[in-house]
Amino acid sequence: MTDTRFDVLAIGNAIVDVIARVDDAFLEREGYEKGSMRLIDPARAEELYSRMGPGREISGGSAANTLAGVAALGHRCAFIGQVADDQLGAVFQHDIRALGVAFDVPPRAEEPPTGRCLVLVAPDGERTMNTSLGAAQYLPESAAEPELVASARFLYIEGYMWDPPEPRRAILRGIGAARAAGRTVALALSAIFLMEMYRDHFLKLLDDGLVDILFCNEGETAAMMQNMDLDAATDALAARVPLLVVTHGEKGAIAVSGGRRYSVPAERVDRVVDTTGAGDLFAAGFLAGQVEGRGIEDSLRMGAIAAAEVISHYGARPDADLKALIAEKLG
Amino acid sequence: MTDTRFDVLAIGNAIVDVIARVDDAFLEREGYEKGSMRLIDPARAEELYSRMGPGREISGGSAANTLAGVAALGHRCAFIGQVADDQLGAVFQHDIRALGVAFDVPPRAEEPPTGRCLVLVAPDGERTMNTSLGAAQYLPESAAEPELVASARFLYIEGYMWDPPEPRRAILRGIGAARAAGRTVALALSAIFLMEMYRDHFLKLLDDGLVDILFCNEGETAAMMQNMDLDAATDALAARVPLLVVTHGEKGAIAVSGGRRYSVPAERVDRVVDTTGAGDLFAAGFLAGQVEGRGIEDSLRMGAIAAAEVISHYGARPDADLKALIAEKLG
């Protein structure tokens, strides 16, 4: 292993979650599909916010949540993302740094404000996310400094960042730097709606050999391969990437690598409070396992344990001592 | 009963809590007395914030928390307090309005920002509060509109507001309007440090017959009467106000009125997560009982049930359905 400053560097949206409990009737009235994530503009965000109940603000952002998990597991992390120079930006910056994650992208002085995600949590814990990206969509290409990227063993990319043009350039620059330095590149597909728009782009990234580890869930796998037969879709997707990790919600998760399939059941949870961050924390546990040089099976277990912790409370970042939890359950 | 728009109107600090878990060693290192509340200036707040772990931002403020409880119990509430025209001010405003509480004091355009309370929660759930009042300390006297005050059956005042000069004038104007309209005035003593500075002021308010219901805890009772014999201090204080309510933490609470003493044990809690808001929610339950025309004993029970709910989770406002909880336990 070469000498590196960081174990995992992530490029992702810098977002503060505004979490409110809602009943199923509210979601139905608003026409939301439970479990979905959608992008909304600032006006729509204001309108929805005015109808939502009281919130609690907790730092979020998909890849940033993953880093929170990797850092909680004792590994050295850095984050690239964009906040605005405002109070919620200061909250995001404080929270990620307080986890020991290096985060040095300067806040952006102009409008729009720091990104927010209005998270509506139903009584069964299922969340519906409404994201107003704000400053996050203006992450400049220059933020993906090749020296910084080369200083981390793993580069982890949030698929959401592929949508806005400037962050996409940052991703491509980051991947280039990671490849040149011989680093491992992991990509999360993030959301089905991205497959509808960018399926070909993502397939090209895979076919060009730019991605080493691909994280997705069942729906994204099916959408990516345009095949509703999940087994067939998984096999087809696995043929295009060295290591594929597919989460299956309460049914657990699988990984496919070198023609072999590995699987892990979901970890038991007393009460599902808020499913936000389940996928992010699964990726965190898995990545931490890889950083530690563990096998795929153990890495899957770590993912399942981290995901179970985060859905047992509000907020998409770990609350309990993840390291102790994994030591207790896995050793 | 005269025709009123509101059941309870409160004057209090508009504060957003920033809640972080800490270990006992952190509190010791910082020289904090567990369970205390202190005022800190913005520079000290920045410094402490930079050393704190990741936070969750949840609207707070003592009297505002009380209103959150009273509103959750189905009563009509209004709030008078001052936020700044910034993101945390918008959060406070949204959250209290989302509870159905009328809140029409316009945000203040100038510095300082909206008040924040850095709440450090120890493993045993005990909280230490560090408040930077910000805009809250500039609530103008004009905000206590006599017409608004007269439109509520109960005026509830947070003792913390006695410290800064402008809110103090607002309190006096509010009390004057409430008395003139024949409303009931309730005062919470809020914190021991206030007794050290304003003991004589508070005693004068009582002796002038301006307060109908006084809320305090054991420490505040002792400090108010400068008597460490709690029984004697309680009797002496009770002699100066028609209805005295003293919370005793995990030992329950008592009330004294018309020479009679009433008491209630604390409600059982599975696990104390965060004691922030226990006193505020006790007052909420008790006030709601009074609004409903219940007796003192039942009002104490309602206080105990509301306090138990709020200490079982993070944040100083109710999370569960308080109304259903009280109906289940009390009928």
Distance CA B13, CA B81 (A): 6
- Closest residue in B to A87 (Cα) is B87
- State yes or no: pLDDT of A3 exceeds 80: no
Q: Dihedral through CA B176, CA B61, CA B315, CA B324, nearest 10?
A: 20
Determine the average pLDDT of the residues in A171-193: 97
The C-alpha of A199 sits at a distance from chain B's nearest C-alpha, in angstroms, of 36
Mutate to test the interface with A, among B48, B94, B310 (most CBs of A within 10 A): B94
Say whether B11 sits in a helix, a strand or coil.
strand
A21 CA to chain B: closest CA distance, Å?
A: 9
Query: In terms of CATH, what superfamily is A6-13+60-113+134-329?
Result: Ribokinase (3.40.1190.20)
Q: Cβ of B52 under 8 Å from any chain A Cβ?
A: yes
Give the separation between CA A35 and CA B92, rounded to whole angstroms. 27
Q: Do B57 and A56 touch (CB under 8 A)?
A: yes
User: Residue B232: how many CB atoms within 10 A of its CB?
Assistant: 12
Coil/strand/helix, residue A146? helix
pLDDT at res. B2: 57
Do B57 and A52 lie within an 8 Å CB cutoff? Answer: no
- Tell me what pLDDT residue B331 has: 76
CB A320 within 8 A of CB A309: yes
| Per-residue pLDDT tens over the stretch A287-331 | 999 999 999 999 999 999 999 999 999 999 999 999 999 999 997
* pLDDT, mean of residues B286-293: 98
Give the residue from B23, B91, B99, B321 with the most A CB atoms within 10 Å of its CB, the best one to mutate: B91
Counting DSSP H helices and E strands in chain B, the numbers are: 12, 14
pLDDT more than 90, % of chain A: 94
Does B17 contact A at CB distance below 8 Å? no
Q: Counting every residue, how long is chain A? A: 331
Q: How far is B183 from chain A (nearest CA, A)?
A: 29
Full strand arrangement of the beta sheet holding A184-188: A102-103, A77-80, A6-11, A152-158, A184-188, A213-217, A243-247, A253-257, A260-264
Q: Return the HEC string of A228-259.
A: CCHHHHHHHHHCCCCEEEEECHHHCEEEEECC
Burial class (CB in 10 A: 0-12, 13-18, 19+), B240: middle
Q: Which residues pair with B20 in a beta bridge?
A: B120
pTM: 0.95
Every domain of chain A and the residues it spans: 6-13+60-113+134-329
* pLDDT of B114 higher than 90: yes
* A216: phi then psi, degrees, rounded to nearest 5: -160, 175
B317 in A contact zone (CB under 8 Å):
yes
Q: How are beta strands B127-132 and B115-121 bridged, if at all?
A: antiparallel
Q: Which of A48, A52, A57 to mutate to probe the B interface, most B CBs <10 Å?
A: A57
How many Cα atoms occupy the beta-carbon half-sphere of A149 within 13 Å? 27
Contact present, B247 and B282 (Cβ < 8 Å): yes
Residues 6+ positions from B244 with CB-CB distance below 8 Å: B213, B214, B216, B234, B237, B238, B255, B256, B257
d(CA A92, CA A63): 13
Instruction: Say how far apart CA B290 and CA B163 lie, in whole Å.
Output: 28
Kindly report, residue by residue over A242-259, the tens digit of the pLDDT.
999 999 999 999 999 999
Confidence label for A135 from pLDDT (cuts 50, 70 and 90): very high
**Runs of H (alpha helix) within chain A:** 24-30, 42-51, 62-72, 87-98, 146-150, 165-180, 192-207, 218-225, 230-238, 278-291, 296-310, 322-329
* Res. B87: pLDDT tops 90: yes
pLDDT confidence of residue B1? 47
DSSP track, A265-316: PPPP-S-----TTHHHHHHHHHHHHHHTT--HHHHHHHHHHHHHHHTTSSSS
How big is the A-B interface in CB pairs under 8 Å? 62
Q: Which residues pair with A173 in a beta bridge?
A: none
Whether pLDDT at A79 is above 70: yes
* Extended beta strands in B189-328, E state: 213-217, 243-247, 253-257, 260-264
Q: What is the CATH number of domain B6-15+61-112+134-329?
A: 3.40.1190.20
B273 lies within 8 A of chain A by CB? no
| Prediction ipTM score | 0.92
> What are the pLDDT digits (tens) for A7-46?
999 999 999 999 999 999 999 998 888 888 899 998 999 9
Q: List pLDDT tens digits, range A54-74.
A: 999 999 999 999 999 999 999
Query: Which of A 96-115 lie inside 8 A of B, CB atoms?
Result: 96, 98-99, 113
Instruction: Say yes or no for a CB contact (<8 Å) between A98 and B53.
Output: yes
Run of H or E including B230: helix B230-238
Proportion of chain B above pLDDT 90, given as a percent: 94
- pLDDT given for residue A2 in this prediction: 57
Please write the tens of the pLDDT for every residue from B167-217.
999 999 999 999 999 999 999 999 999 999 999 999 999 999 999 999 999
Enter the DSSP assignment of A122.
Answer: P
Residue with structure tokens 């010791």?
B28
Q: First-to-last CA distance in chain B?
A: 24
Q: Give the pLDDT score at B179.
A: 98
Per-residue model confidence (pLDDT) at position B127? 93
Query: Sign of dihedral through CA atoms B207, B213, B214, B217?
Result: positive
CA–CA distance, B137 with B113 (Å, rounded to integer): 11
